[in-house]
């Protein structure tokens, strides 16, 4: 699971760099949403937490992430029933 993050600072610095050229200054700077520099990869634990906080059941999370139910429970700190 990846999340795209746009950076206003990067966009502003691109605009400032482009303002030195008159032909490029007329075109607004476009943030590159698919640029690898703006992509964050979440760990399995973070993905589990996100899905759990969105209301998914442990079994659904395990299925979606190809994990065992015990692995999901471990990430969430849920002790196995005795």
DSSP 48-77: HHHHHHTT--HHHHHHHTT--HHHHHHHHT
Task: Count up the domains in the chain and report the number.
Answer: 2
Asked if 4 and 21 sit in the same domain, the reply is yes
CB 80 within 8 A of CB 53: no
- The predicted-structure confidence for 1-49, as pLDDT tens digits, reads as follows 555 555 444 544 445 555 544 454 556 666 656 666 788 899 999 999 9
Asked if 36 and 6 sit in the same domain, the reply is yes
Residue reference for tokens 């303002």: 19
- The predicted-structure confidence for 45-61, as pLDDT tens digits, reads as follows 999 999 999 999 999 99
CB 5 within 8 A of CB 38: yes
Q: Which residue range forms the structural domain that includes residue 72?
A: 42-82
Spell out the residues 6+ positions from residue 62 whose beta carbon is closer than 8 angstroms to its own. Answer: 68, 69, 71, 72
Asked whether the whole model's pTM tops 0.75, one would answer no
* Residue 45, pLDDT score: 93
* Residue 13, pLDDT score: 47
């Amino acid at each position: 699971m990846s999340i795209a993050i746009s950076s206003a600072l990067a966009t502003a610095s691109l605009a400032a760099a482009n303002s030195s050229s008159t032909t490029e200054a007329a075109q607004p700077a476009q943030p590159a949403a698919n640029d690898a520099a703006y992509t964050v990869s979440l760990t399995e634990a973070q993905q589990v937490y996100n899905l759990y906080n969105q209301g998914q059941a442990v079994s659904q999370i395990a299925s979606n992430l190809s994990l065992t139910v015990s692995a999901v429970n471990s990430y969430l700190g849920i002790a196995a029933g005795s």
